[in-house]
Amino acid sequence: MADLFLKQAKQYAASRPGYPSQLFRFIASKTPSHQVAWDVGTGSGQAAQSLAEIYKNVIGTDASEKQLEYAVKLPNVRYQHTPSTMSMAELEQKVAPEGTVDLVTIAQALHWFDLPTFYRQVKWVLKKPHGVIAAWCYNVPRVTDSIDELFDEYAVELKPYWDPARALVDNDYRGIDFPFEPVDGADDTGPIEFVTEKEMDLDDFLTYLRSGSAYQTAKEKGVELLSEDVVERLKSTWIEDGSQLKVAKFPVYLRIGKVGDA
């Protein structure tokens, strides 16, 4: 998946929602130490920026150099281009030594990973027994009833072009393999629901739609899913309440666990 967002990296960085502060406060409350966080699949650094407010050092890694070009630079965040699959030696060299990381985060990316290999690396790099892994995804935005209805029609046309792994997001990460212990105070590893919001005008919303990998896949196959007719229907629906700016609400689903003595 190294070049998944290569063509739309700028659009992706500009149009994707951030994540709510409540999410990061909750995650941080489960790690006894706040020295080192590793944000895997960091993309344009959306999660890394929030982690940098809590953790002394953050390592943001991604297999896409193009995505990293749009990451906001901060003094306590080190961005690192990595291969999509790392050896343990590369992990130690590029990320951190064994047993030194307090938190591993994966925002909207876990479903793309080779999970058995990745989880071995997570268990190796996390501090034992209280090191935490937190992975979350967000699902489709909700704006207004009429816009949501059009979006859901569009999503039906989009579905054949999604990678099969996308089904894990559609199911809110309920079915994803997650072999970790519940964090202190929790009965299970989730998913736990949060909500993030992004103010958008119509151009922002269209940019968001065009930044998706399924849209890009369709376009490469010669299929324009956002045809003039679709765009015109969306335009007329968007302005029917007289407001250009709208708040899109994205549900966020968190899986969180600790490494234990694994």
pTM: 0.87
Euclidean distance between CA atoms 254 and 195, whole angstroms: 11
Cross-strand bridge partners of residue 136:
107, 254
pLDDT at 14: 53
pLDDT tens, position by position, 128-174? 999 999 999 998 899 999 999 999 999 999 989 988 888 899 899 99
pLDDT at 6: 46
Q: Phi and psi of 253, rounded to 5°?
A: -120, 120
Contact 136, 253 (CB under 8 A): yes
- ∠ at Cα 110 (184, 37), nearest 5°? 55
Q: Sign (positive/negative) of CA torsion 134, 194, 213, 155?
A: positive
pLDDT at 85: 86
pLDDT at 16: 62
pLDDT at 1: 41
225 φψ region: left (φ > 0), alpha (ψ -120 to 50), beta (else):
alpha
Q: Which residue ranges form the domains of the chain, and what is each CATH number?
A: 9-140+164-197+251-258 (3.40.50.150)
DSSP structural state of residue 215: H
pLDDT at 44: 87
Segments in the chain below pLDDT 50:
1-11, 13
Residues with Cβ within 8 Å of residue 159, at least 6 apart in sequence? 214
